[in-house]
Amino acid sequence: MSKVTVVGAGKYGSTTVQRIAEADIVDEVVMTDIVEGLPQGLALDMNQSRPVVGHRTKVVGTNDYADTAGSDVVVITAGLPRKPGMSRMDLLEVNAGIVKQVTEAIVEHSPDAVIIVVTNPLDQMTTLAAEVSGFPRQRVMGQAGILDSSRFAHFISETTGADIQTVKAVTLGSHGATMVPVPSQCRVGDKPLSEVLDAETIDDLVDRTRKGGAEIVGLLKTGSAYYAPSAAAAAMAQAVVEDSGLEMPVCAWVDGEYGISGVYLGVMGRLGADGVSAVVEVDLTESESAALHEAAVAVKEKVEDLRQIEL
Ligand code: APR
């Protein structure tokens, strides 16, 4: 039986569960949370949509990790979302405690799972989950790059008027200030982005992408984005469940690629049943490569902040 667990039945978690269930790619999606009744109520509601939507995947809502046992994939969304004016770093302390506790429970019940972390601050939380789990690094990854690339693609499509499905956008690096957009890899139809938009406009779109999460937080007032984020997390879970080998941006353990080592960083990765089977190096311009190296240094510094916290 194929099974995905999503930890955290908040906005991000529950929409991820809904997307995976509606994709009809696994037998069961388990949703767990510390709040009693929340995952159960949402699961009941989602299951009742099956005759209308037409999928068979069953959703199980629970507060008990025993129900998550034997999961192929576990998506960790548990944590507090960013509030207006709050930086990802502010979240570090509280979410580190949550992610540690959740990871320990996952390892106990699903020792062979692939873990996808989405809780912010993403780079540190992915590093923490990998360390706490003791899993091979390739079986623990974070979601950021698909979302950032997708936001960038949206802005390019809005600005150029091009069909969104013909826009290819790539971002690497870290989630946040050191996100590395890769305009040289971006295409609008069969044209390079630089032939469609001038450098200044591209810079503006990059800036808006970098602040994409904060823009939504500012509008919502409470909570953070979850529609595009859950689409990204569900796409990663699907690639693992289907062992598809699809290449996508992912926060993965980098060990020598691009001349960078020993850090979880946003790169292109090939996703399959064992997690990130390979980090795929893409051609970068000199400035893109320099930005990726800077991002690696910044993430390593942020991981040091994690060491200051007593867990
Ligand atoms: N175990 C399980 N669930 C937990 C735990 C825990 N130890 N601690 C908190 N939760 C649950 C909360 O009860 C809540 O239902 O996590 C859920 C978080 O949901 P929301 O507050 O709606 O937050 P959401 O928008 O889903 O974001 C979750 O994703 O994008 C990131 O920054 C965001 O870190 C945040 C995470």
Structure confidence by residue, pLDDT tens digits, 91-124: 788 999 999 999 999 999 999 999 999 999 999 9
CATH superfamily entry for domain 3-142: NAD(P)-binding Rossmann-like Domain (3.40.50.720)
What is the per-residue pLDDT for 83? 67
User: What tokens does 270 get?
Assistant: 């090939």
Q: What percent of the chain has pLDDT over 70?
A: 98
> pLDDT digit string (tens) for 198-238?
999 999 999 999 999 999 989 998 888 999 999 999 999 99
Does the annotation count 154 as an active-site position?
no
The finding on whether 217 has its CB within 6 A of some atom of ligand 1 is no
Of 145, 140, 147, 137, the C-alpha closest to 116 is: 140
- Pair 4, 20: CB distance under 8 Å: yes
Q: Which amino acid is at 221?
A: K
> pLDDT digit string (tens) for 36-77?
999 999 999 999 999 999 999 999 999 999 999 999 999 999
Assign 147 a pLDDT band (cuts: 50, 70, 90): very high
Top CATH class of 145-307 equals alpha beta
For residue 80, pLDDT beyond 90: no
For residue 278, pLDDT beyond 70: yes
What is the per-residue pLDDT for 74? 98
Q: Which ranges in the chain are annotated with CATH 3.40.50.720?
A: 3-142
> pLDDT digit string (tens) for 20-30?
999 999 999 99
The finding on whether 137 has its CB within 6 A of some atom of ligand 1 is no
For residue 3, pLDDT beyond 90: yes
CA 135 to chain centre: 18
Residue with tokens 């810079």: 203
CA of 161 to the centre of ligand 1 (A): 36
Phi, psi at 245, each rounded to 5°: 70, 15
- Ligand 1 atom nearest residue 120's Cα: 34
CA 57 to chain centre: 22
For residue 298, pLDDT beyond 90: yes
Residue from 55, 109, 154, 175 carrying the catalytic annotation: 175
Q: Quick one: 199 exposed, middle or buried, by C-beta within 10 A (0-12, 13-18, 19+)?
A: exposed
Phi, psi at 255, each rounded to 5°: -135, 70
Q: Which ranges in the chain are annotated with CATH 3.90.110.10?
A: 145-307
- Pair 251, 137: CB distance under 8 Å: no
Assign 90 a pLDDT band (cuts: 50, 70, 90): confident
Radius of gyration of the chain measured on its C-alpha atoms: 19
Q: Residues with Cβ < 8 Å from 67, sequence gap 6 or more? A: 30, 32, 60
Average pLDDT in the chain = 95
Assign 308 a pLDDT band (cuts: 50, 70, 90): confident
The finding on whether 95 has its CB within 6 A of some atom of ligand 1 is yes
What secondary structure letter does DSSP report for 37?
A: T
Residue 49: strand pairing partners: none
Q: Ligand 1: which residue has its CA nearest to atom 36? A: 119
Assign 85 a pLDDT band (cuts: 50, 70, 90): confident
